[in-house]
Amino acid sequence: MSDNNMKVTLQGNPVTLAGGMPENGAVIPDAVLIDNSLNAVSLKDYIGKILILSSVPSLDTPVCHIETKKFNEEASALGEDVLVLTISMDLPFAQKRWCAAEGVDRVVTLSDHRDAAFGQAFGVLIKELRLDARAVFVVDGQGVLRYTQLVEEVSNEPDYEEIMTVVRELLKGE
């Protein structure tokens, strides 16, 4: 597992990200994740819709909680052509419980806990903690990465407006 040179901090302390971040304009790498029913699923299974891939350290932290709830609200307004996948190292049981408790029904949560496949493929795996850093990737219906936002301070929220602008532009063009 190689390190990348992206600068990210957690509560002001630098962390090391492992893996390679894909380039905008490239077909996304595949990663096998675990869904809430303990089934292995491939990112490629979701190609055909515009994807918002939201990488978070853990749903049980305040910022990840806020972010996932915000994307759940946004997804309701974006329609059926857009799918939000929230990916974390949380166990599938915890993700399912959290979604039920919070009424999150428009975001698909996927666990990266088994192989850290997503974290490595997208360059967001925090080596020191074996958690995925906060990042958002927007993928078009053909599986091409169109936008990347790596949040430099993991305890900060992403720029939602910038993400939604990209998604709306893709909706106009598809």
Q: What is the pLDDT of residues 15-74, one digit of tens each?
A: 999 988 999 999 999 999 999 999 999 999 999 999 999 999 999 999 999 999 999 999
Helical packing angle, 160-173 and 62-78, nearest 10°: 30
For residues 174 and 171, give the distance between their C-alpha atoms in angstroms, rounded to a whole number.
5
What's residue 76's pLDDT?
Answer: 85
For residues 124 and 102, give the distance between their C-alpha atoms in angstroms, rounded to a whole number.
26
What's residue 5's pLDDT?
Answer: 60
For residues 174 and 78, give the distance between their C-alpha atoms in angstroms, rounded to a whole number.
13
Residue tagged active-site, from 56, 64, 94, 133: 64
- Across the range 120-149, mean pLDDT stands at 96
Helix spans in the chain (H): 62-78, 92-102, 117-121, 160-173
Query: Does the annotation mark 64 as catalytic?
Result: yes
* 3 pLDDT more than 70: no
Q: What pLDDT, in 10s, does the model give residues 106-127?
A: 999 999 999 999 999 999 999 9
For residues 12 and 112, give the distance between their C-alpha atoms in angstroms, rounded to a whole number.
25
For residues 84 and 77, give the distance between their C-alpha atoms in angstroms, rounded to a whole number.
12
Q: How confident is the model at residue 7 (pLDDT cuts 50, 70, 90)?
A: confident
For residues 82 and 29, give the distance between their C-alpha atoms in angstroms, rounded to a whole number.
19
What's residue 9's pLDDT?
Answer: 87
Helix spans in 12-91 (H): 62-78
Residue 157 DSSP class? P
Q: What pLDDT, in 10s, does the model give residues 75-108?
A: 888 989 999 999 999 999 999 999 999 999 999 9
Q: Above pLDDT 90, what percent of the chain?
A: 87
Q: Of 146, 138, 156, 6, whose CA–CA distance to 74 is shortest?
A: 138
What's residue 42's pLDDT?
Answer: 97
Q: How confident is the model at residue 1 (pLDDT cuts 50, 70, 90)?
A: low
What's residue 173's pLDDT?
Answer: 84
Helix (H, G, I), strand (E, B) or coil at 46: helix
Q: Which CATH number fits domain 17-173: 3.40.718.10, 3.40.50.2300, 3.40.30.10, 3.30.360.10?
A: 3.40.30.10
Q: Which residue has the tokens 């063009």?
A: 173
- pTM metric for this prediction: 0.94
